[in-house]
Amino acid sequence: MFTIYIKEIKSYFKSFFGWLFLAVFTFFAGLYFVLYNLFYSNPYLSYTVSALMIILLLILPVLTMRTFAEEKKAGTDRLLISSPISITSIVLGKFFALATILLITTMILVLGALVMMIFGPVPMVETVLSLLGFFLFGCVCISIGMFLSSLTEHQFVAAILTYGVLFIMYLVPTFTLYLFGEDSWIYAIMRYIDITSPFNMLFGVAYDINLTPLCGLNLKDIVYIISIIALFLIMSGVAFGKNGFVIKSVGKKKFISKIAVIFILIAAFVGINVAVNFADDKYVEYDFTDKELVALTDDTKSVLDTLDKDITIYVSGSEKDIDDFESKYLNNYRKYSDKIKVEFIDNKDNPNFFNDYAEALDYGGLLVCTKTTDESGKEVIDKYRVVSADKLYVYDYGMDYTTGQYAVNDVSIDIEGQITSAISSLISDVDEHIYYLVGHGEREVPYTFIETIGKGGFTVDELSIMKEKDIPEDASVVIVNGPANDLNTEEIQALQNYRDKGGKLILLASMDVDNTPNYDAFMEEFGVVLTDGTVIESNSYYMYGDYPYFLLLDPVYNPVTADLYNSKMFNFFAQTRGMETKADIPDDIYVEALYVSTGDSYCKVLSQGTSLEYEDGDETGPFITAAYASKYIDGENEAEALLIGTPEFLNESLDTMVSGANAKLVTDTILTFTDVELKSMIPAKSMSYDPITVDYGMIGIYAAICLLVLPAGFIIAGIVVAVSRRKK
Cα 256 from Cα 351, distance rounded (Å)? 59
Cα 342 from Cα 328, distance rounded (Å)? 12
Cα 531 from Cα 620, distance rounded (Å)? 11
Q: Judge if the upstream peptide bond of residue 622 is cis by omega within 30 degrees of 0.
A: yes
DSSP string, 66-122: TTTHHHHHHT-HHHHHHSSS-HHHHHHHHHHHHHHHHHHHHHHHHHHHHHHHHHS--
Q: What is the pLDDT, as a whole number, of residue 404? A: 57
Q: What is the pLDDT, as a whole number, of residue 97? A: 93
Q: What is the pLDDT, as a whole number, of residue 282? A: 65
Question: pLDDT (tens digit, 9 = 90+) per residue, 671-718?
Answer: 888 876 555 667 778 777 777 878 788 888 888 988 899 999 999 988
Q: What is the pLDDT, as a whole number, of residue 209? A: 37
Residues of the chain where predicted confidence (pLDDT) is lower than 50? 205-211, 244-245
Q: Are 20 and 101 in contact (CB under 8 A)?
A: no
Which residues sit opposite 509 in a β-bridge? none
Domains for the chain: give ranges and CATH numbers: 2-287+694-727 (no CATH), 298-391 (3.40.30.10), 429-686 (3.40.50.880)
Global confidence as pTM: 0.64
Q: Please return the burial class of 397, using the count of CB atoms within 10 Å of its CB with bins 0-12, 13-18 and 19+.
A: exposed
- Cβ neighbors of 436 (< 8 A, separation 6 or more) are 442, 445, 460, 461, 462, 463, 478, 479, 480, 481
Q: What is the pLDDT, as a whole number, of residue 206? A: 41
**Length of the chain, please?**
728
The phi, psi pair for 413, rounded to 5°, reads: -90, 120
**Cα distances (angstroms) measured from residue 149 to each of 61, 93, 136, 158, 554:** 9, 15, 20, 5, 65
User: ∠ CA 56-62-63 to the nearest 5 degrees?
Assistant: 90
The phi, psi pair for 641, rounded to 5°, reads: -150, 145
**Residue 371, SS3 per DSSP:** strand
Cα 441 from Cα 373, distance rounded (Å)? 53
